[in-house]
Amino acid sequence: MPDTDIATESLPSAEPLEFLIPYTALPERLDKVLARLMPAHSRSRLQGWIEGGHVLVNGQPGRIKQMANPGDKLVVHEQRPPESLAFTPEPVDFTVVAESGDWIVVDKPAGLVTHPGAGNWSGTLLNGLLYRYPELATVARAGIVHRLDKDTSGLLVVARHDKAQTHLVRQLQARSVSREYVALVHGRLTRPGSVKLAIGRDPRVPVRMAVEHPIAPKPALTHYAPLRAGRTADDAVVTEVACKLETGRTHQIRVHMMSLRHPLVADVLYGGKLVGGALRQLLHAKALSFDDCSTGRRMAFESALAQDFQQIIDHIAWET
């Protein structure tokens, strides 16, 4: 996976901890000694502190495999766990399409994680929302009511207060929030249809979702319609497809299109190939509509394809 951990940061006011290894102790690896002295922290976290130069042995930076000997003095500068940064306001680049006192419609760029999680505790859309709209700190998940995958671009709506969030969540549950996507898939898809297959965690690959023997499956329904077919410059047959969600499961369109044997172009997690110059799954949340919680008016928004997606579309030889 391309996701990377962020660097930890020092606790703002914590004093370093000092330990003196008893003269009666036996020599032992430094990380094992620290794991025994500081049981509240995992060994892997302590190893990260050692690698980062935050553990001194007799005044010198320690090494994971070095031996800690009787009489050695250890000085440990505790570090904040990366997850502690999850709800820290940060300047993050994203476009706001429209906003009201109740909601914000965001056009998320590809490559931006929506919500903090393992490997992505900082630099997410949530961090950016808290930076631009500090009042969101009082709303669960900073008002985020639905997500887009990291490499999916396009529209999503954020609630600005608890009442609006409840209203939008109920619309999602009632399937009255309309979400339409454009995808580029492998192969020639000729007929519209629907996929109604429950989705759950893949029992063999934890980072994947699956429709075959899934763990804790939930109902999922995707409607799709081919728009046009063509060939990329490297002679791969592809189809541009419109997709509409009735439910919002993790990786739903990606999994359902794979189940049709038409995986998304460049979606390597689900069998897609890097063709036509694509470097990420070609999926874009094009249209979004919902009912305004104050006025009851139907709000509708559209987003143009991301630049990288459009460039690939422009270089396909489409069939007439």
Which residues does the annotation mark as catalytic?
A: 149
> Left (φ > 0), alpha (ψ -120 to 50) or beta: where does 251 sit?
left
In angstroms, rounded to a whole number, what is the distance separating the alpha carbons of residues 198 and 222?
11
Q: Classify 34 as helix, strand or coil.
A: helix
Q: Is the distance from CB of 188 to CB of 154 less than 8 angstroms? A: no
DSSP 8-state secondary structure symbol assigned to residue 92:
-
What are the strands, taking DSSP E only, across 21-86? 28-29, 55-57, 60-61, 67-68, 73-76
Reduce the secondary structure of 268-286 to three states and give it as a string. Answer: HHHCCCCCCCCCCCCEEEE
What is the C-alpha radius of gyration for the chain, rounded to an integer number of angstroms? 25
**How far is 67 from 84, CA to CA, in rounded Å?**
31
Residue pair 291/297 in contact (Cβ under 8 Å)? The answer is yes
Please say whether the beta carbons of 130 and 136 come within 8 A.
yes
Q: Do residues 57 and 68 make contact, with C-beta atoms less than 8 angstroms apart?
A: yes
Question: Which ranges in 197-271 belong to alpha helices (H)?
Answer: 252-259
> CA–CA separation, 319 vs 148, rounded Å?
31
Separation in Å, CA 26 to CA 23, 60, 67, 68, 122? 8, 21, 10, 9, 41
Q: What is the DSSP letter of 39?
A: T
- The helix (H) or strand (E) run that includes residue 273 is none
Tokens of 197: 């297959």
